[in-house]
Amino acid sequence: MCRREVGMKYPYTLPELGYGYDALEPYIDEQTMIIHHTKHHQGYVDKLNKVLEKYPDLQNMDLEDILRNLESLNIEDKDKVQIRNNGGGHINHTLFWDIMNPNTQADESLKSEIEQKFDSVDNFKKEFSTVALSHFGSGWAYLARDEKGDLQVYSLPNQDSPYLLGHTPVIGLDVWEHAYYLKYQNRRAEYIENWWNVVKIL
């Protein structure tokens, strides 16, 4: 689990990357990183803060808990949609930047868990890539822990977060076109294949 996600609270701020916008070249280009971080991610943060202005009770909750309990919260339906999209957007991108951080150390215990569940890390990557490639439209591919702690691979639409399902995301891949279109245009498969080069957690 991404350490930055723990205890994220209102008012939310755009997390610093901790590395340069050009650090993931040539796999993810600098221009995409700049726009993705300073425009897209910032937009989710701003809209999340905006919707939470009128809910002081939610301002004191961790974002993970808000998402886990979203359906049962006593707030307007249209605001649930806003939190789902923008709270998801914030938490998803925070994880995404972290697992690509060149300073991130490989997680050896996660790797051995993956080897047990998927036979090998390569096999896991293949399965994950297939899910990411076959996801229709905007969304994310995830490796997440379900309520029992078991690792699962699946995709979700839009900015939906595994927290909505009571799961905890471990790895997330953004397959929105804004994540790759400048460099890869319609070639999502090439983006996914190259993306593994910048995943530092494995």
The residues binding Mn ion (CB under 5 A) are: 174, 176, 179
Taking Cα atoms as reference points, which of 88, 197, 104 lies closest to residue 138? 88
CB of 184 to Mn ion, least distance (A): 14
| Identity of the residue, 157 or 166, whose beta carbon is nearer to Mn ion in the bound complex | 157
CB of 124 to Mn ion, least distance (A): 23
| Identity of the residue, 69 or 138, whose beta carbon is nearer to Mn ion in the bound complex | 138
| Identity of the residue, 118 or 140, whose beta carbon is nearer to Mn ion in the bound complex | 140
The CB-side HSE value for 99 (13 A sphere, CA atoms) comes to: 24
CB 111 within 8 A of CB 134: no
| Identity of the residue, 154 or 176, whose beta carbon is nearer to Mn ion in the bound complex | 176
CB of 74 to Mn ion, least distance (A): 30
CB-closest chain residue to Mn ion: 174
DSSP string, 167-202: -EEEEEEE-SGGGTHHHHTT-HHHHHHHHGGG----
Residues near 89 by beta carbon (within 8 Å), at least 6 away in sequence: 40, 41, 43, 44, 48, 159
CB of 9 to Mn ion, least distance (A): 22
CB 19 within 8 A of CB 8: no
